[in-house]
Amino acid sequence: QMWEEAIALGKELAEQYENEMFDYEQLSELLRKQAQFYENIVKVIRPKPDYFAVGYYGQGFPTFIRNKVFIYRGKEYERREDFEARLLTQFPNAEKMKTTSPPGDDIKTSSGQYIQCFTVKPKLDLPSKFHRPVSEQIVSFYRVNEVQRFEYSRPVRKGEKNPDNEFANMWIERTIYVTAYKLPGILRWFEVKSVFMVEISPLENAIETMQLTNDKINNMVQQHLNDPNLPINPLSMLLNGIVDPAVMGGFANYEKAFFTEKYMHEHPEDHDKIEKLKDLIAWQIPFLAEGIRIHGEKVTEALRPFHERMEACFRQLKDKVEKQYGARAILSSLDDRRGSRPRSMVRSFTMPSSSRPLSVASVSSLSSDSTPSRPGSDGFVLEPLLPKKMHSRSQDKLDKDDLDKDKKEKKKEKRNSKHQEIFDKEFKSTDISLQQAEAVILSETISPLRPQRPKSQVLNVMSSERRFSVSPAPPSAQLTPPPVTPRAKLAFGIQPNLELNGMSSSENPDVPPPLPLKGSTADYGNLLESQDLISPTTSPPAHQR
């Protein structure tokens, strides 16, 4: 489950596949694996193994481990007792030491075997690429991996014992162990190369404890925000142990030990540290508030009295802390976790009197505050469908009236979507006329829901003037009035200079295509039966808007 290491190796392989071997199949498979590794890092909870310091003292051990200390990486969920039992099976004659302090020379020079084992805490060493705060799920890997420094803290009392407050003289003796290599490596254990010791004052210990507590609350809150299905019991125990003073005593012990006039008079150099401790106490309140809010949303009815008591204790604690140390507030990150809407999308608007989309509005490049990216435009481009065949004058007029009526109803229709409201508002404010070709870009859209008409019935459309492009007919043809025909039968004719689908008919204007054999007088519909049937039939002029 060391996916971070697998990703690093995968990047090396990807460089070979892409630039040296040009094996794109292997590259695609490798990139899919890397994507899965990144997803596992964020979503999968990995167990954190413990690390143990083991000292082999006495002349009875082999020379490569005699009087040396090693740091071992335990197995998943392995306790110290289980690890000691596994270790002692290798040296059944060894004696286990009861203390954690370094042994004397008498034990080191004795002929026996003495094993000292205790748990150490790995010290986080983040890589340099993490120059800004990142998710705890990402950082948690480096808390127990790629570590080379380990520490063991042992409490030491100095001065007179204070029965009322044990924190006043509680010093920490911290031993730092540095291994030869980072763990885990090719082995699960490495030799300790250097050891040094530092002492932590009671005030510094209090600051560290408060910082760790705040981090623990914040991390658990983030885990519950990321995964609502987590159990509530660990959160309940953590919050109750901090909020209820009857359990742990809270930070009241720090106030009694360090926030007194006597301590500040005796230790004037600790003024900055005391202010830092006060600030940490004040920052604990917003973290607790967020944790209690999540606890209230997930608590069961059986634990409702427990939650109400915890809320009452928190209100008292909050009033006290804000009165003494001030109020702190954290910005909610819930908005950052919500999925942001896409910056571009395509909507299909349907006219009220039609069952199919008549136009497509493209919403693009909208900024975060819903303002258009181009001046004088709201990002919408209308693309209405254009007529694809020549009707008679009456049919064309009816279709035009219906289309205009539908467009007026569409402009007045209320839209629930925010983009549609912007669209409607922009059209009302600017009063853009459909006759202005400069404001509306027209294009022809063919819907797949309806079969296309024959090319002989489709006219080329001039987008700049929004009218049909019809070449003038000969003077003799213009003088002839169009025949009045029933609406059920449409008369289609071909003018000599009419452009069909961008192709001019002037190549052979005098010879029209021959007509099929006539079986009866009804075969040609309403075509004029003149004396010369092969002459071009005059059709009604195109309707001019």
Write the CA distances from 20 to 6, 8, 14, 26, 37, integer angstroms. 20, 18, 10, 12, 24
Same domain, 70 and 20: no
Same domain, 35 and 106: no
Which pTM was predicted?
0.57
What gap in Å lies between CA 148 and CA 184, rounded to an integer? 9
Among 411, 387, 383, 409, which residue's Cα sits nearest to residue 399?
387
Whether the CB-CB separation of 409 and 358 falls below 8 Å is answered with: no
Same domain, 125 and 224: no
Among 238, 192, 183, 240, which residue's Cα sits nearest to residue 216?
238
Contacts of 469 (CB under 8 A, 6+ apart): 459, 460, 461, 462, 499
Compute the average pLDDT of residues 58-77. Answer: 94
Compute the average pLDDT of residues 298-312. Answer: 90
State both tokens at 452.
């296309």
Whether the CB-CB separation of 203 and 270 falls below 8 Å is answered with: yes
- Assess if residue 532 is contained within a domain: no
Same domain, 55 and 189: yes
Give how far the C-alpha of residue 125 lies from the chain's centroid of Cα atoms, to the nearest Å: 26
Q: Which residues pair with 121 in a beta bridge?
A: 151
The residue whose two tokens read 């029209």 is 512
Given pLDDT bands bounded at 50, 70 and 90, which one contains residue 85? very high
Given pLDDT bands bounded at 50, 70 and 90, which one contains residue 332? low
Point out the domain boundary residue: 170, 200, 230: 200
Is the confidence at residue 46, as pLDDT, over 70? yes
- Assess if residue 105 is contained within a domain: yes
State both tokens at 434.
């459909």
Overall domain count for the chain: 3
Is the confidence at residue 533, as pLDDT, over 50? no
pLDDT the model gives residue 223: 85
What gap in Å lies between CA 37 and CA 3, rounded to an integer? 6
What gap in Å lies between CA 507 and CA 504, rounded to an integer? 7
Identify each DSSP E strand in 300-426 by its residue range: 345-350, 357-363
Point out the domain boundary residue: 331, 354, 372: 331
Is the confidence at residue 515, as pLDDT, over 90? no
Other beta carbons within 10 Å of 523? 11
Query: Which residue type occupies 288?
Result: L
Same domain, 185 and 227: no
Given pLDDT bands bounded at 50, 70 and 90, which one contains residue 378? very low
Is the confidence at residue 279, as pLDDT, over 80? yes
Given pLDDT bands bounded at 50, 70 and 90, which one contains residue 537? very low
pLDDT the model gives residue 253: 81
Among 225-229, 231-235, 382-386, name the one with the lowest average pLDDT: 382-386
Task: Using DSSP, state whether 434 is helix, strand or coil.
Answer: coil
Same domain, 72 and 189: yes
pLDDT the model gives residue 31: 97
- Assess if residue 426 is contained within a domain: no
**Domain CATH for 230:** 1.20.58.740
- Assess if residue 343 is contained within a domain: no
Same domain, 183 and 84: yes
Point out the domain boundary residue: 331, 347, 369: 331
Is the confidence at residue 410, as pLDDT, over 70? no
454-500 confidence digits (pLDDT tens) = 555 544 444 444 444 444 444 444 444 555 544 544 444 444 444 44
- Assess if residue 419 is contained within a domain: no
Whether the CB-CB separation of 120 and 192 falls below 8 Å is answered with: no
What gap in Å lies between CA 140 and CA 71, rounded to an integer? 20
Same domain, 135 and 237: no
Structural domain range at position 21: 3-43
Is the confidence at residue 21, as pLDDT, over 60? yes
Given pLDDT bands bounded at 50, 70 and 90, which one contains residue 55? very high
Contacts of 11 (CB under 8 A, 6+ apart): 34
User: Which DSSP category does 264 fall into?
Assistant: H
Among 185-189, 247-251, 262-266, name the one with the lowest average pLDDT: 247-251
User: Which DSSP category does 333 fall into?
Assistant: -
Same domain, 50 and 196: yes
Given pLDDT bands bounded at 50, 70 and 90, which one contains residue 453? low
Whether the CB-CB separation of 254 and 167 falls below 8 Å is answered with: yes
Q: How high is the mean pLDDT of the chain?
A: 73
Secondary structure of 135-188 as H, E, C letters = CHHHHHHHHHCCEEEEEEEEEEECCCCCCCCCCCCEEEEEEEEEEEEEECCCCC
* Between 400 and 10, the higher pLDDT residue: 10
- Assess if residue 477 is contained within a domain: no
- Assess if residue 272 is contained within a domain: yes
pLDDT the model gives residue 375: 41
Among 15-19, 311-315, 395-399, name the one with the lowest average pLDDT: 395-399
pLDDT the model gives residue 443: 56
State both tokens at 44.
């999968």
Other beta carbons within 10 Å of 491? 18
Q: Which residues pair with 54 in a beta bridge?
A: 70, 117
What gap in Å lies between CA 510 and CA 535, rounded to an integer? 9
What gap in Å lies between CA 367 and CA 371, rounded to an integer? 6
Same domain, 219 and 188: no
- Assess if residue 241 is contained within a domain: yes
The segment with the largest mean pLDDT, out of 123-137, 171-185, 408-422, 515-529, is: 171-185
The segment with the largest mean pLDDT, out of 126-135, 403-412, 517-526, is: 126-135
What gap in Å lies between CA 462 and CA 109, rounded to an integer? 105
Compute the average pLDDT of residues 230-238. Answer: 89
Same domain, 51 and 195: yes
Q: Which residues pair with 56 in a beta bridge?
A: 68, 115
Say how many CA atoms lie within 13 Å of 206 toward its Cβ: 29
Same domain, 79 and 109: yes
